[in-house]
Amino acid sequence: MTDTLVPWDDVLAAYDPALGLEVHVELNTHTKMFCGCPAVFGGEPNTQVCPTCLGLPGAMPVVNGKAVESAIRIGLALNCEIAEWCRFARKNYFYPDMPKNFQTSQYDEPICFEGWIDVEVEGETFRVEIERAHMEEDTGKSLHVGGATGRIHGADYSLVDYNRAGIPLIEIVTKPIMGAGAKAPAVARAYVSQLRDLILALGVSEARMDQGNLRADVNLSLAPKGTGGLGTRTETKNVNSFRSVERAVRYEMQRHAAVLDAGGAIFQETRHWHEDTGVTTAGRAKSDADDYRYFPEPDLVPVAPSREWVEELRGTLPENPVERRARLQSDWGYTDLEMRDVVASGVLVPIEETVAAGASPQAARKWWSSELARRANDAGVDVVDLGVSPAQVAAVQALVDAGTVNDKLARQVFDGLIAGEGTPEEIVAARGLAVVSDDGALGAAVDAAIAANPDVADKIRDGKVAAAGALIGAVMKEMRGQADAARVRELVLEKLT
């Protein structure tokens, strides 16, 4: 069944959107939240498990101090209050990938609450208020085998891998974000993107959306325009790229409007996002909190971080994001427009790393903000998931600076990098991309161009040096763009003047 969608402008004319974002961040601690099992990505299924994370009877959990530290640092970076005393709670529900029959989480006593972060969208600043950031554990992973979709419907059988069960998570929940109007999809994207930058700067997670260590759930509701109310929301789960966050918000706004326009009601439910088709489909009816029968976890002592420790951790925070952007803009000499573009494309961190790897800020911006952002957009992925690293971009630019390739040939080096053909140097060699600056080869091509264009040659002989461009162009074409253009120009002028 295909959803009816209302044209975008009609949605905006009739409704105000309210957004809410829940982002799960998988921490990069060495061990899991409540046991000593390694908390690393990958590994043979069910090899990183113990009685505690398998939920075997009698196993006793112990809180990972490093995870608490990371939670507090995230909270402080989000301008949150840090609880003086808080507890874990059991969130009771059955799911095959959660062997205890409950998830150890926090309920009415989160470790961090009442914060905010300013995000910038097209030069406008939106303050996103943070309701809470709490600690919990990840679940295992179910793998449904035999069906076409990878979902349980139509599968022959299912497998469960508990390696991920018990990995520390921080769930960051915003308050409803109102007033974004037409910018709601962009605000959602900017929030997740800028939150990721902050998490990376804190060093508390790898924050790879494609590997699921940063996952966003997108809540959306519409209210009739100007009423200031909140409509019934839907929650689109596990949206796994910045671009998809933006698309999912836009899709849900258009879908909600169609249901409401037709006099229907929105059901409070979770929805699945389909990356390939760009649509959402109904999941399960969303449980209210009381269905989970939360109660305080009796096997764990409360967490009571001392104020001295909190202040000590405050001292370890990275620069605040707004000041950081201002400093980088000034260091790099970018215009306001260039900087806005960089932030919007989500390439601030890659550019910073590319500059650290030796490229000039202008070169780093040129590749990330135009070339690679365009390719990512064409491929429908986030630029950080394209498969090109900052170090590789710096290496390509070093080849440009050394005159080995020009910008045009460098684009072919990026083709090779995305295709996984090796290092930039290997790709230049394998694809024969190096610029020719050898006078023998260039001289022959220049002679051929002069012979083929006698009128142009005469003009240059008569002193019209500007006409040399036509001959240089002919040589470049003949040599498939691989001639050293500056040297060709010198040879043309040497031969004709």
- The token pair at 224 is 């009739």
β-pair type (234-239, 269-274) = parallel
Our finding on whether 59 is near Zn ion (CB under 5 A) is no
- Rule CB under 5 A: which of 60-79 touch Zn ion? none
User: Least separation, in Å, of the C-beta of 159 and Zn ion?
Assistant: 19
**Window of 46-54, 356-364, 436-444, 464-472 that interacts with Zn ion by CB under 5 A:** 46-54
Query: Is residue 49 a contact partner of residue 163, using CB atoms and an 8 Å limit?
Result: yes
Part in contact with Zn ion (CB under 5 A); list of ranges 45-53, 209-217, 244-252, 274-282: 45-53
Least Cβ distance, residue 124 to Zn ion (angstroms): 46
- Pairing status of strand 124-137 against strand 168-174: antiparallel
Closer by beta carbon to Zn ion, 36 or else 203: 36
User: 3-state SS of the chain: helix, strand, coil percent to 5?
Assistant: 40, 20, 40
Piece of the chain touching Zn ion by CB under 5 A; list 42-50, 195-203, 210-218, 404-412: 42-50
Contact between 488 and Zn ion per CB under 5 A: no
Among 39, 53, 83, 442, binds Zn ion (CB under 5 A): 53
Among 6, 23, 33, 37, binds Zn ion (CB under 5 A): 37
Nearest distance from residue 199's CB to Zn ion, in Å? 24
CB 35, min distance to Zn ion, A: 3
The DSSP code sequence of 146-180 is SSSSSSSTT-SEEEEE-TTTT-EEEEEEEPPB-S-
Q: Which residue has the tokens 């494309």?
A: 345
Q: Which amino acid does the sequence have at 379? A: A
Of 32-40, 84-92, 122-130, 143-151, which segment contacts Zn ion by CB under 5 A? 32-40
CB of 32 to Zn ion, least distance (A): 5
In terms of CB distance, is 168 or 321 closer to Zn ion?
168
State the DSSP string of 278-316: TEEEEEEEPPPGGGG--EE-TTSPPB---HHHHHHHHTT
Print the binding letters for residues 184-213 with Zn ion: x by CB under 5 A, - otherwise: ------------------------------
Map residues 383-402 to x or -, x wherever contact with Zn ion holds by CB under 5 A: --------------------
| Separation of alpha carbons 194 and 214, rounded Å | 12
What does each C-alpha distance from 303 to 61, 134, 164, 342, 480 come to in angstroms? 14, 12, 23, 40, 66
**Should residue 167 be labelled a site residue for Zn ion when binding is judged by CB under 5 A?**
no
Contact call for residue 491 and Zn ion (CB under 5 A): no
Piece in contact with Zn ion (CB under 5 A), picked from 47-55, 96-104, 256-264, 464-472: 47-55
Piece of 30-38, 185-193, 322-330, 376-384 that binds Zn ion (CB under 5 A): 30-38
- Least distance (Å) from Zn ion to the CB of residue 31? 8
Residue type, 342: V
Q: Is 253 left (phi over 0), alpha (psi -120 to 50) or beta?
A: alpha
Say how far apart CA 86 and CA 227 lie, in whole Å: 37
Please give the size of the binding site for Zn ion, defined by CB under 5 A.
5
Q: Does 50 bind Zn ion (CB under 5 A)?
A: yes
Residue closer to Zn ion, measured from CB, 37 or 239 = 37
φ and ψ of 165, to 5 deg: -65, 120
Q: What are the backbone dihedrals phi and psi of residue 425, each rounded to the nearest 5 degrees, phi first?
A: -60, -45
Residues engaged in binding Zn ion (CB under 5 A): 35, 37, 50, 52-53
